[in-house]
């Protein structure tokens, strides 16, 4: 005779405790989900809301791994997971946008959430699943296809371009005002005055001519006559401009005679006589002065120019201090 198996009292107690503990654990977490549409057309979107609530601070939940596509459906957007705390309760929410591009009936699956809490092995809770109908737009096959219409030109009037006209007019007025302003207020830039070089005095010019003659070294090249001709021409020009005597047209004797009778030139009679006489001997008598005479005549000519330059008297007077 077969005897029915009866669990012992110990085994029954263990089963009761496990069932009670599982019920308590699940009561600490709530997984909810909803969808705002059960039927969409191809390409439209349905919003899927998932919510997980924890009723104990000791409970931790691992959010479900949601793929980008499933069962011919696609998730086009995953919202961020928002957290709302109300006392000891913590609620997590996420919004998903689901769409389909094929017609038919497709299932939005349940998503698995892992729950962990002290003293209990990790376990899994699932969200609700939904059936989503994706349909195409109704097409009336009894009617023929219509061709694509051409672009229809739209009649325009000047009022359609009113703001463009106003803008162009304002721009022209501003441009004209700017041009008028700059023309009216422009400043004539006068070129900076170029400082005039100080005018060279008669003495400076004559001394430069003597220096240039000396550098040519004519008498060193046996060109004695040319040397004295140039030397006396420089002196005659100086005498004519400095003393007002027509020395360029006068002979040596006439120049010396006037120098003897002149109050200004009298002091230089001996020097002029030495230079002009030596020059006449070299030019007309074909005499050959010694080298030291050449340099001596040049030295006398320079001293005559330096010593005979006019003295500039400062006529400005300073008031005597009391």
Q: Find the range with the poorest average confidence among 12-16, 127-131, 252-256.
A: 12-16
Does residue 272 belong to any structural domain of this protein?
A: yes
- Structure token digits, residue 255: 């120049």
Tell me, what DSSP letter sits at residue 92?
A: E
**Of 135, 161, 182, which one is at a domain's C-terminal end?**
135
Reported pTM: 0.39
Q: Are residues 35 and 131 in the same domain?
A: yes
Q: How many domains does the chain have?
A: 2
Does residue 116 belong to any structural domain of this protein?
A: yes
Does residue 187 belong to any structural domain of this protein?
A: no
Report the C-alpha dihedral over residues 62, 66, 67, 72, rounded to 10 degrees. 150
Residues in the chain: 322
Q: Which domain holds residue 242?
A: 202-307
The reported pLDDT for the residue numbered 314 is 53
Q: In terms of DSSP bridges, do strands 130-135 and 39-41 run parallel, antiparallel, or are they unpaired?
A: parallel
Q: Are residues 220 and 296 in the same domain?
A: yes
Q: What is the DSSP string of 124-151?
A: EEE---EEEEEEPPP--TTSPPPPPPPP
**Of 118, 135, 152, which one is at a domain's C-terminal end?**
135
Does residue 287 belong to any structural domain of this protein?
A: yes
Mean pLDDT value across residues 264-293: 84
Does residue 214 belong to any structural domain of this protein?
A: yes
The reported pLDDT for the residue numbered 76 is 93
Mean pLDDT value across residues 170-177: 92
Q: Write the pLDDT tens digit of every residue in 3-25.
A: 434 444 444 444 443 333 344 44
Asked whether the beta carbons of 269 and 237 are under 8 A apart, the reply is no
Check which CATH number belongs to the domain holding 54 and give it. Answer: 2.60.40.4100
């Amino acid at each position: 005779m077969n005897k029915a198996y009866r669990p012992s009292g110990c085994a029954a107690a263990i089963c009761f405790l496990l069932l009670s503990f599982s019920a308590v654990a699940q009561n600490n977490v709530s997984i909810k989900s909803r969808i705002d549409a059960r039927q969409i057309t191809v390409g439209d979107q349905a919003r899927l809301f998932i919510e997980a609530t924890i009723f104990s601070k000791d409970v931790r939940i691992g959010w479900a791994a949601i793929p980008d596509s499933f069962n011919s459906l696609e998730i086009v957007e995953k919202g961020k997971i928002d957290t709302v705390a109300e006392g000891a309760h913590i609620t997590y929410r996420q919004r998903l946008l689901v769409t389909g591009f094929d017609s038919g009936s497709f299932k939005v699956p349940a998503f698995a959430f892992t729950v962990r809490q002290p003293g209990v092995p990790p376990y899994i809770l699932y969200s609700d699943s939904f059936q989503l109908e994706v349909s195409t737009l109704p097409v009336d096959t009894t009617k023929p296809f219509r061709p694509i219409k051409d672009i229809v030109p739209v009649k325009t009037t000047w009022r359609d371009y009113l703001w463009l006209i106003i803008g162009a007019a304002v721009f022209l007025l501003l441009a004209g005002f700017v041009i008028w302003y700059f023309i009216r207020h422009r400043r004539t830039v006068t070129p900076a005055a170029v400082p005039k070089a100080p005018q060279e005095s008669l003495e400076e010019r004559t001394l430069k001519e003597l220096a240039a003659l000396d550098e040519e070294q004519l008498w060193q090249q046996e060109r004695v006559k040319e040397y004295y001709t140039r030397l006396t021409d420089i002196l005659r020009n100086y005498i004519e401009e400095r003393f007002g005597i027509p020395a360029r047209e006068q002979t040596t004797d006439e120049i010396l005679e006037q120098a003897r009778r002149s109050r200004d030139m009298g002091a230089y009679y001996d020097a002029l006589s030495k230079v002009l006489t030596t020059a006449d001997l070299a030019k007309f008598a074909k005499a050959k002065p010694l080298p030291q005479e050449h340099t001596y005549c040049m030295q006398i000519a320079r001293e005559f120019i330096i010593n005979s330059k006019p003295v500039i008297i400062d006529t400005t007077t300073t008031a005597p201090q009391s």
